[in-house]
Structure 1
Amino acid sequence: MKAFLKISLLFFLISSALCATLYLGLGLLVSLHSAKPEKADVIVVLGGDDGLRVKKGGDLYKAGYARHILLTGIDSRYYHPDRPNWRERRLIQRGVPRKNIVVDTWSETSWEEAENTSDLMDKNGWKSALVVSDPPHMLRLNKTWKKVFAGSGKRFRLVATEPAWWHPLFWWRNDISYRFVISELQKNIYYLVAYY
């Protein structure tokens, strides 16, 4: 009986430690694929942001990483080419010429952003892209863009924003990062079934 209790306790402790490690490591897992920027043909600023992605894209442009910026996730119902939307205006304020900004009004999901970017890259003769998004988005983006770009000869590099709310080890302490990580886990499972 004592041996059974010892084994049960050991099993419980090991299982608890493993679960805690997995839980705490989720922030690292979802943000793992972020990389330092390199020169590219286009900077792709993904939609769904509050301005951090646009700022990062503008900073990359000003630092000379690419000559073109593609903004995705802009709703075609509300977009008027003769009136720049707030994301375009912010880039223009950061010194990006309007002629160097391309707008994608067709993408509604991360998958569509990758597919439509691939098509636009073909049209413009672009071979490489810097893809800008938030840190917890990186795992799904990496899998999505790899799948969409497979066999095309095109390359991408994921560049993360630097939000004040994000910490890969303490993601669970902040409401924003907690919701983002849990949402990304759900979306990764959905994408695994639907696309990969």
Structure 2
Amino acid sequence: MLDPSLCHRPISQWLEIKSAIATWLMTPILVVLPLLFLIFLPWIVPRFRWKRLWSGFGTLLLVTYFSAQFPLTTAVANKGLVAFIPPDRGQTADAIVILGRGEAFRNSRVKVAANLWESQRAPLIFASGSGDGTEIVNKLERIGIPSEALNEEHCSQTTKENALFTASVLQPQGINRIILVTDPPHMLRSLLTFRNVGFEVIPHKSPVPHLTQSRKAMMMIYEYMGLVKYGLNGELAPQNMAQQQQPQIVGQRLEVKG
């Protein structure tokens, strides 16, 4: 199993920043009031320099914020994320890997993974994600998937850690070709990240549950931010696993229970 200390780390700074941005952007009054202040303050304060510039900048941000909430904007952003994902042509693999995305996404992913396993696409289902790995495995067991066909890790906090921790457990067992299950917006970054650590990846998209429009918009923002961050860090191009910073492993099988 993975070093247990990996499951008891503080939340990463990147996740804290994303959470703060999400809280701010999904609370309209916290966005609109400061922008209105930015737009009108230069005209209230005497001798304020660059009035038109500041007001114009605030107006642009306000229009951008509301435009991002439109369903058409979200649809176009999603189209850009899925345009380069290759189709699943039905090949068999060594394992099915499910990425956690929170409680709202679990049931659909469990159903998709169970259908893939029952279709004999792969003999093993592996769940990855802090707060999700164990829950997904438990749900799969409850619908009749045998425990010997299930494994998980519940320590990873990011997509990069999903890939690294999954590789650290599965690749020593000779598992290299995987069917990767996640939602369409998350798939491109996940596909490139898992390739980066040496997996041959067959992408298989799971449906997005019903979400508010603001939550959908935040998903798009997250993914584009993630692609830029991972790209700048060189984490999207294929590399040798030996070059990656690998987590410490104890044994080869993770604890599924407890």
Query: What is the TM-score when the length of structure 2 is the normalising length?
Result: 0.55
CA distance in 1, matches of 2:119, 2:229: 36
Distance 1:161 1:125 in 2: 26
User: Contact (CA 8 Å) 2:81, 2:185: kept in 1 or not?
Assistant: yes
* Residue 94 (structure 1) aligned with residue 143 (structure 2): yes
User: 1:165 deviation in Å?
Assistant: 4.3
Q: 1:185 to 1:92 in 2, by over 3 A?
A: same
Q: Secondary structure at the match of 2:180?
A: strand
Paired letter, 2:223: E
Once residues 61 and 47 of structure 1 are traced to their aligned partners in structure 2, the CA distance between those partners, rounded to angstroms, is 18
Amino acid at match of 1:26: A
1-structure distance, mates of 2:124, 2:74: 39
Structure 1 equivalent of residue 189 of structure 2? 140
Superposed displacement of residue 129, structure 1: 0.3
Write the letter of the residue equivalent to 1:155.
E
Gaps of 5+ in 2: 1-71, 236-258
* One-letter amino acid matched to 2:92: K
The residue that corresponds to 2:206 in the other structure is: 161
Aligned residues of 2:74 and 2:216 also touching (Cα < 8 A) = no
Higher relative contact order at CA 8 Å, sep ≥6: structure 1 or structure 2?
1
Structure 1 stretches of at least 4 aligned residues deviating more than 3 Å after TM superposition: 21-25, 173-176
Q: Which amino acid aligns with 2:233?
A: A
Structure 1: which 5+ residue stretches go unaligned?
1-20, 80-84, 167-172
**Equivalent position SS for 1:74:** coil
Matches within 5 A, 1:19-30: 25-30=76-81
Q: What's the RMSD between the two structures over aligned residues?
A: 2.7
Count of residue pairs brought into register by the alignment:
159
Superposition pairs of residues 60-71 of structure 1, within 5 angstroms: 60-71=116-127
The answer to whether 1:175 aligns with 2:175 is no
Q: Residues 66-81 of structure 1 correspond to what in structure 2 (within 5 A)?
A: 66-75=122-131
